[in-house]
Amino acid sequence: MKQDRRKFIKQSAAAGAALVASSAAWTAAAAAGNSERLTAAEAPFKLKYAPYMDMFEEHAGKEPVDNISFCYDMGFRAMFDNGLIDRPMEEQTRIASQMEKLGMDLGPFVLYADFSVTSFVLNSPEVREMLVNRMKKGVELAKRTGAKWALVVPGRYDERLHRDFQTANVVDNLRYCCDVLEPAGLIMVLEPLNVLHDHPGLFLTGIPQAYQICRAVNRPVCKIIDDMYHQQITEGNIIPNIDAAWKEIGAFHIGDNPGRKEPTTGEINYLNVFKHIHERGYQGTLCMEHGKSLPGKEGEVRLIKAYRECDSF
């Protein structure tokens, strides 16, 4: 047993040294304006951080399949694409095929997120029919791509209807959506968004509110996507709210605040947040829904270095 432990410690130390060396190489390459691809990572990240499909286009180009391969080489084991449903079917299939080939997870795609209209908050047959048809479209996409998660934003609140009635209507409409999604095993993740800076007028704004709704819907395919950028603005208390809502969280979005750039650029201690999520045994995706603090290749190098720093728990 002692021998095995010594061997494990020795291997871990070697892996850690390799990662530090890789980070130094990336930084040097950026400073020198090196146009070559970044050095492949020695080990994958501990969590499934998911870049968007063109996050590293300065190094990998604009072709999604090339970006997927590049991200795999950098140690990422997931990707996400908010606009997957709007891509041509042939491109959707190529993306899914490459993800499957590399054993990578595909994070939530946006299934419904109309910020301009009241929808889920209404008791309306027309709205319900529209939502059900949208869910059916998501199921067809999931069949083609193997996608497991679909993101839903319940739209705007109605200023002329009591919020409790709106909540009841949202619960009812979500149950109709679940009737379509559940046979296919497609999990809907509801995203609360901040109204103070980015999205004034929306109905769903906080993790406690989203938790209450998911508990009321009471269906296994209705969960929460915890966007930590939005929730830092709305309510803070990131880790305690993660714990309180844990059984209903299906995925995460990442972005630091202020600025909505990569971790280490704002006030959120992502090293501690990621460590906490990892210790809770989370196996899902954490979508990197943010910009870069620096332009060009230097910004892409800086982004990867930031994730290595925050994944070094």
CATH number at residue 248: 3.20.20.150
CB under 8 Å to 256, separation ≥6 — which residues? 229, 262, 263, 264, 265, 266, 267, 268, 270, 290
Task: Give domain status of residue 17, yes or no.
Answer: no
Task: Give domain status of residue 126, yes or no.
Answer: yes
Compute the radius of gyration of the chain from its Cα atoms: 20
Q: Which domain holds residue 145?
A: 44-310
The partner residues of 169 in beta bridges, in order of sequence, read none
> What's the CA angle centered on 232, arms 226 and 234, to 5 degrees?
90
Task: Give domain status of residue 229, yes or no.
Answer: yes
pLDDT at 269: 98
Dmax (CA) for the chain in angstroms is 70
- Contact at 8 Å (CB) between 186 and 139? yes
Helix locations, the chain, DSSP H: 2-31, 57-60, 64-73, 89-102, 125-145, 163-181, 207-217, 228-234, 238-244, 270-279, 296-310
Task: Give domain status of residue 279, yes or no.
Answer: yes
Task: Give domain status of residue 10, yes or no.
Answer: no
For residue 270, which of 312, 300, 230, 304 has the smallest C-alpha distance? 312
* Token duo for residue 106: 């595909």
pLDDT at 4: 45
pLDDT, tens digit, 9 for 90 and up, residues 210-221? 999 999 999 999
Domain tally for the chain? 1
pLDDT at 39: 85
Task: Give domain status of residue 21, yes or no.
Answer: no
The CA distance from 226 to 210, in Å, is: 9
pLDDT at 37: 53
Supply the residues annotated as catalytic.
191, 289
pLDDT at 226: 98
Counting as low any pLDDT under 70, the low residues of the chain are 1-37
pLDDT, tens digit, 9 for 90 and up, residues 225-282? 999 999 999 999 999 999 999 999 999 999 999 999 999 999 999 999 999 999 999 9
The CA distance from 273 to 208, in Å, is: 18
Look at the pTM and tell me if it is higher than 0.85.
Answer: yes
Task: Give domain status of residue 86, yes or no.
Answer: yes
Task: Give domain status of residue 26, yes or no.
Answer: no
The CA distance from 136 to 101, in Å, is: 27
